[in-house]
Homo-oligomer: A and B are copies of this chain.
């Protein structure tokens, strides 16, 4: 200790997979300019821990029980404005990236990166820069903007789990005929064979 090192970056780790979270914490602890000050296994817990420990950077898993990473990032933006957020994910979907950017997430990386690389990215995010995985970014760009209207997307979302039109109509408070119209136009826009494949396509491109 020479007394003139800068204060370490305070990091919050949120991941429901204990194995990964613990391992990650151990690896990040090796970097002497990073300090894992809090850990969480769920969305709500991450929020609570963030308020209690006020980290500089929150590293959030995308899929967590309670609230997913993007939802946590959104809450964090208003509740802890000084805290930068980043998302780490196994399954890189273009749609999630889009949502994440809207939540002012500064880093978006797949879990295929090395710990070294992750540490660098945490530093970059802390410094105010952004880092988006190039492959995911390319996917998001190639997917483009959604051609679906708000209602079309909503109805398609209800259709996703295979519900019959009557049920969708009730849930969306629409006439069954109207539901069929929206579904039909959405299916045509996505050039799918039926609403089920249309829903899959829209989901894959992040349009849902």
A interface vs B, CB < 8 Å? 16-20, 22-24, 26-27, 41, 88, 90, 110-115, 118, 161-164, 192-194, 196-197, 199-200
Q: Contact partner of A22 among B19, B90, B115, B199, CB < 8 A?
A: B115
Kindly report how many copies of this chain are found in the complex they form together. 2
Contact B26–A164 (Cβ < 8 Å): no
Q: Contact partner of A17 among B41, B111, B192, CB < 8 A?
A: B111
A115 contacts which chain B residues (CB < 8 A)?
19, 22-23
Taken together as a complex, chains A and B put the C-alpha atoms of A38 and B193 apart, in Å, by 46
Knowing A23-B23, A26-B26, A26-B27 touch, does A193 contact B17 (C-beta < 8 A)?
no
Contact B162–A111 (Cβ < 8 Å): no
Q: Contact partner of A163 among B27, B118, B197, CB < 8 A?
A: B197
